[in-house]
Amino acid sequence: MSLPESSITQFYNCLVLKDHKLVSDYLYVQNGKIIDPANMFWEENRIPDVRIDCKGGIVSPGYIDVQINGAFGYDFSNDTDIIEEAVDNISKGLLLQGCTAYCPTTVSSRPEVYHKVISHLGPRQGSVENGASVLGAHIEGPFISPQKKGAHELATLRTAKHGLADFEECYGLDNLRKYAAYVTMAPEVEGVTAAIPDLIKETGVAISSGHSNATTAKAQEAFKQGANMITHLFNAMHPFHQRDPGIIGLLGDNGPRPFYGIICDGIHVHPNSVMIAYYAHPTGACLVTDAMSAQSLPEGYYKLGEMDVDVHGGHVYIKGTNTIAGSIATLAECVRNFIDFTGASKVEALENATLHPAQMLGISDTKGTLAHGADADILILDNDLYVQRVFIAGVEATNDNVKFNKKL
């Protein structure tokens, strides 16, 4: 439904996620933003133009996925010749799932791929016409450990022994400056940790530690240099050991600690490991899907970057191996799984898919919150956290006004 630009919408009969609690309240939206109704009532003497009955449901900010490689048959690293088509269709499909903002993720690739695709993965405002908001690219690799490459192609990996010059040659610093949200790198790879402060200063990009065999000491050094995130905790990293817990050990520091992505599909990380991480550092948890092109498609063979992958029984492996190659989970599923795995509250689970990812990216004034002035990206959920209705910039997204294609 199209409304006049200045119209005011009221959400009622709901529990609103506000100030780390679910409270019985109203929510008001105008011009794509959450508003304080005091001005409407006392100065303008207005009542809402539209009232939406939430039927006792939960009103949450829209979900934010900061690591997704593809979906609906499209892959951000492989579909370089149709990258705009890929972004358009993934953005719309994700929106209908309740993911209202995301970071399109590229796996380790050759420089020519980055120079071709990064400029198409930059920030883009969400709407029913555009789909979910694009928050900027997550560039995963190629400055990662060969020993912890996971599903990344070995031939693409490289070092940063020449400092910023290597990042310029690989990505283009201007591409990072304009189009990237964050980059995943391994702290122990030659030149990486030393380059972090200059890379942040020159481009403003955030840095995440991942695909790494780093010791705890090296991970702490990278964190002090500015790497304030961890990419898919537990996966593709130095395993926990009592004398050297590796990157995982950062969760046990007694000072500031990084945010961390964690894949709650029930395959990548054992539920007990999810619980250990969460109770070690609850305010740093960010649920991610790490989904690939087969998300929401039938089982079969697909691409992850240049690699062939086999999708069967809910698992994704590099073809002919037992190496996990992403997931086919949705973020809504991960939220529900998180409660099953940890016994956490609905508030905790929802904030791991909304507030924490926004804080990780430094955008929590407008995303991941229902505070006054924030973007009106809103979900209505039932009591079991199944998505009932989706709104982006205050406009409801439905199968009728959001059309997208799957690439089979």
Residue 36 falls in the annotated catalytic set: no
Cα–Cα distance for residue pair 267/315, rounded to 1 Å: 7
For 36-101, what is the HEC assignment?
CHHHHHHCCCCCCCEEEEEEEEEEEECEEEEEECEECCEECCCCHHHHHHHHHHHHHHHHHHCEEE
**What residues contact residue 315 under an 8 Å CB cut-off, 6+ apart?**
267, 324
Between CA 208 and CA 135, with CA 353 as vertex, the angle to 5 degrees is 55
CB 339 within 8 A of CB 332: no
CB-neighbour burial class of residue 178 (10 A; exposed 0-12, middle 13-18, buried 19+): middle
Helices (H), 281-353: 331-342, 346-352
Q: Which residues pair with 138 in a beta bridge?
A: 105, 182
Kindly name the residue from 290, 308, 310, 375 that is annotated as catalytic.
290
Two tokens, residue 340: 């099953």
Two tokens, residue 348: 């905790």
Rg (CA), the chain: 21
Two tokens, residue 382: 């039932």
Annotate 139-155 with DSSP letters as a single string: EE-SSS-GGG-TTS-GG
Residue 307: phi, psi to the nearest 5?
A: -100, 145
H or E element in which residue 199 lies: helix 192-203
Cα–Cα distance for residue pair 126/132, rounded to 1 Å: 5
Two tokens, residue 175: 């591409």
Active site residue ranges: 290
